[in-house]
Amino acid sequence: MAHFAVKALAAATMLAGALTTGAAHAADQLTLQLKWVTQGQFAGYYVAKDKGFYEAEGLDVTIKPGGPDIAPPQVIAGGGADVIIDWMPSALASREKGVPLVNIAQPFKKSGMMLTCRKETGITSPADFKGKTLGVWFFGNEYPFLSWMSQLKLPTTGGADGVTVLKQGFNVDPLLQKQADCISTMTYNEYWQVIDAGIPAEDLVVFKYEDQGVATLEDGLYVLEDSLKDPAMVDKYTRFVRASMKGWAYASENPDEAADIVLENDASGAQTEKHQKRMVGEVVKLVDGSDGKLDMSAYERTVKSLLSGGSDPVITKEPSGATTTAVTDKL
């Protein structure tokens, strides 16, 4: 009898194990497309995966790095991702062009974008941009800049009364080689590349988009509109955002550990410990304790900035349905 009980217990244990394994295999798949390569800019997501925050929400999350030839709106439109990270100017422009992106959460409260100029150019204020060459990233990153120039009434077609736009690669060479008077930089990345290249901060002048009143929202989480009609997808997105914000909270409290996690996930081996630790430290200032909810006043400021583009605005009409609280209301 005892022998039978032991066998029954063993069988029950095996069954429980099988059920547990089955439950683990039943985790919901979700693919996140990053806006750029694996780096501290996305630390919260890598931390959430590494620390099991996604797993605890019943999710199996695949994080796909981006790069210079990867446009997140195109990836999601082609079915290559469930959620993308994008800047709002790019997302709203994509929506107007027919890719129905919707912002479901906004982990970054602040913009990290700025123009960095050599002091020797004599530029001390935006009024001094006239007649100068300014470096700008494209692939959707140019929209905040073009909007700013429109507000300054500076044509981007060159000449003494406008600015010459240099299509900037994803490096700081134009400033180092004096091909541009100013270049686009992020507070957490390229600015420090300029410093590391040997130009001290006192030889630079920076114009933060936040300080100029032309900041637009960056690094939001976007999905396709139709997917929000499915309650199961909304539930999956809610679990994803909740776990991601836990990842950001952990990264904010443990920036050096978060940088190490990012480095472990960098298959390219291109990132350095010093740069990633500095990047995470700067990025968490932009997240700034966010709960993931979109600040509608910041959204309206972004839309207003993009609409005020003169004869060539980034978007031509007030967006409709471009944001939802269906996910963040459930956090």
In the chain, where are the structural domains located? 25-109+217-330, 113-212
Let me know if the fold of 25-109+217-330 is the same as that of 113-212.
Answer: yes
Secondary structure E strands in 21-163? 28-33, 59-64, 83-86, 101-105, 113-118, 133-136
Residue 65, classed as helix, strand or coil, is coil
What pLDDT was estimated at residue 3? 47
CA 178, 183, 185: angle at the middle one, nearest 5?
135
Residue 289, classed as helix, strand or coil, is coil
pLDDT tens by residue, 269-312: 989 999 999 999 999 999 999 999 999 999 999 998 888 766 67
Assigned CATH class of 25-109+217-330: alpha beta
Assigned CATH class of 113-212: alpha beta
pLDDT tens by residue, 12-50: 445 555 444 444 458 999 999 999 999 999 999 999 999
For the chain, which ranges sit under pLDDT 70?
1-25, 140, 309-311
What pLDDT was estimated at residue 257? 98
> Can you name the residues that pair with 164 across neighbouring β-strands?
133
What pLDDT was estimated at residue 4? 43
What pLDDT was estimated at residue 311? 66
For 73, the enclosing helix (H) or strand (E) is helix 72-77
What pLDDT was estimated at residue 7? 47
User: Going by C-beta distance under 8 Å and a sequence separation of 6 or more, which residues neighbour residue 272?
Assistant: none
